[in-house]
Amino acid sequence: MDLKTALYERLDRYARIDTQSDDKSAAFPSTAKQLTLARLLAAELKRIGAKKVKLDGHGYVTAELPATVKGKKPVIGLLAHMDTAPDASGKGVRPQLHRAWKGGDIVISRKLGVILNEKNCPELALCRGEDIVTASGDTLLGADDKAGLAIIMTAAEHLIKHPEIPHGVLKIGFTPDEEVGQGVKFFNVKAFGADCAYTFDGDLAGAVEEETFNADAVEIKVQGKSVHPGSAKNAMANASRIAAEIVSSWPENMVPETTSGREGFIMFMDIAGETEKASVSGIVRDHDLKKLKAMERQLEAIVAAKRLKYPLAKIELSFKEQYRNMKGVIAGRPEVMRKLLAAVRRAGLEPRIKPVRGGTDGSRLSFMGLPTPNVFTGGYNYHGRYEWVSLDGMNKSAEVLINLARGWAE
């Protein structure tokens, strides 16, 4: 099965629409521009022949593919998210296709010095000979998760055109704001009507994921005291310096740059300050909930020490739950992973079960009663200018989706 042309056409079209979410926004979706893509997807679903297409007031796009077999079969959900990460610009994305990459440098932008190769991304070596898509060097690509959108749309169109392929009822769901941890905040699992689901939001071909981080947000607020620097001794509390000292006190072996696999971390992402006030926000991540709470206690101890050191300042520390590891929920429904592994093997790949060093909509959906593991989309280096995706990997993902549909009907 080769759907690469359709996959690239969709990825190119979706990627050019700026759908960057905003973690500072109180609205939902956090940015109105996500609705531009939502409306396009809803119209496209109607055009290809999907049924019960709906774009609701929260920006969720849902649809249904009726069964092609008789008898009661499990209803399967297929999900991807529409937004791109706040980490890098998503405005003016210009995808580039690098055909049949044979090794060596992939020049994303010579002018900006953005060059992709096996040295700065060893994972690229697994895609030698494949068609690679990047952006143009000044934006992210948005394959996270517009590759997932393209995969679901292209596979759905293929299934509609080929009713001889047996499958039960398939539910499609496209969500906003996944990148800011709010993707399924208002998602109605009962109305969606699936027995289990799969997010198409992973990385390299063959990788499937049933385990995510446990995730909390962290926020530190420092209220300082400003006086003239000439008379500051024992009278000033410089909020910016105190905030910087808290950040620098966190162990270097417990940050994203020095951890991998199942190792947890705290990442301080946004720091703002002046003499009288400063703020730090970030994320806490670990696959083991006990270890996550231990890291939080360690940060609390650091902050407590700074309160003693700087009695003129007021330092507040807070944590907010974002999502939890979905593995325990999915383990309770072993057939969900069993069908996925069979679908990957049927596509000629050996599945690699690995933990997600992040989260997916499936993390929260699983705890909302919808077991939802994650499926590869063929990309890597997400959230930045070095992002790339293999069209061949996307093609394999679409094949896995069709195999899943067939497998649940057998």
275 class by beta-carbon count within 10 Å (0-12 exposed, 13-18 middle, 19+ buried):
middle
- Helices 4-15 and 391-409 pack at an angle, to 10 degrees, of 110
Q: Domain range for residue 49?
A: 4-212+325-409
The amino acid present at 99, given as its one-letter code, is: R
Phi (first) and psi of residue 268, to 5 degrees: -90, 115
Based on the fold, state whether residues 234 and 249 are members of the same structural domain.
Answer: yes
Average pLDDT over residues 214-220: 96
Q: Is 211 tagged catalytic?
A: no
Q: Is the predicted pLDDT of residue 315 greater than 80, yes or no?
A: yes
Based on the fold, state whether residues 290 and 190 are members of the same structural domain.
Answer: no
End-to-end CA distance of the chain: 20
Average pLDDT over residues 262-269: 96
pLDDT tens digits, one per residue of 365-408: 999 999 999 999 999 999 999 999 999 999 999 999 999 999 99
Q: Which residues contact 284 (CB under 8 A, 6 or more apart)?
A: 215, 216, 217, 218, 264, 265, 266, 292, 295, 296, 299, 319
Bridge-based pairing of strands 265-273 and 277-286 is antiparallel
Based on the fold, state whether residues 244 and 180 are members of the same structural domain.
Answer: no
Based on the fold, state whether residues 318 and 335 are members of the same structural domain.
Answer: no
- Cross-strand bridge partners of residue 15: none
Query: Which residue carries 């994972």 as its tokens?
Result: 123
pLDDT of residue 359: 81
Q: Which of 258, 293, 323 is the last residue of a domain?
A: 323
The amino acid present at 397, given as its one-letter code, is: S
Based on the fold, state whether residues 185 and 249 are members of the same structural domain.
Answer: no
Cα(2)–Cα(34) distance, integer angstroms:
30
Which one from 18, 64, 83, 216 is the annotated catalytic residue? 83
8-state DSSP, 125: G
C-beta atoms surrounding 146 within 10 Å: 31
Both tokens of residue 382?
A: 């997400």
Both tokens of residue 317?
A: 């520390």
Query: What's the pLDDT band for 191 if we cut at 50, 70, 90?
Result: very high
**CATH number of the domain bearing residue 282:** 3.30.70.360
Q: Is the predicted pLDDT of residue 323 greater than 90, yes or no?
A: no
Based on the fold, state whether residues 115 and 24 are members of the same structural domain.
Answer: yes
Q: Name which of 197-206, 324-333, 355-364 the model is least confident about.
A: 355-364
Which one from 178, 203, 210, 286 is the annotated catalytic residue? 178
pLDDT of residue 187: 98
Higher per-residue confidence, 1 vs 193: 193
Query: What's the pLDDT band for 356 if we cut at 50, 70, 90?
Result: confident
Which of 340, 14, 352, 330 has the alpha carbon at shortest distance from 151? 14
C-beta atoms surrounding 369 within 10 Å: 9
pLDDT of residue 360: 86
Both tokens of residue 68?
A: 């092609």
Q: Which of 323, 341, 361 is the last residue of a domain?
A: 323
Average pLDDT over residues 351-369: 92
Q: Under a CB-based contact definition with an 8 Å cutoff, are residues 192 and 77 in contact?
A: yes
Please give the mean pLDDT across all residues of the chain.
96
Q: Is 130 tagged catalytic?
A: no
Q: Which residues contact 49 (CB under 8 A, 6 or more apart)?
A: 157, 160
Based on the fold, state whether residues 230 and 344 are members of the same structural domain.
Answer: no
pLDDT of residue 399: 98
Based on the fold, state whether residues 124 and 58 are members of the same structural domain.
Answer: yes
Query: What's the pLDDT band for 181 if we cut at 50, 70, 90?
Result: confident
Q: How many domains does one find in the chain?
A: 2
Q: Percent of the chain at pLDDT above 70?
A: 100
Based on the fold, state whether residues 59 and 197 are members of the same structural domain.
Answer: yes
Q: Which residues contact 81 (CB under 8 A, 6 or more apart)?
A: 145, 148, 174, 175, 176, 177, 178, 179, 183, 199, 201, 361
The kind and range of the H/E element at 4 are helix 4-15
pLDDT of residue 304: 98
Average pLDDT over residues 351-355: 94
Q: Which of 323, 346, 381 is the last residue of a domain?
A: 323
Which of 36, 18, 165 has the alpha carbon at shortest distance from 85? 18
Based on the fold, state whether residues 121 and 186 are members of the same structural domain.
Answer: yes
Query: Which residue carries 């042309």 as its tokens?
Result: 5
Based on the fold, state whether residues 169 and 99 are members of the same structural domain.
Answer: yes
**CATH number of the domain bearing residue 42:** 3.40.630.10
Based on the fold, state whether residues 222 and 266 are members of the same structural domain.
Answer: yes
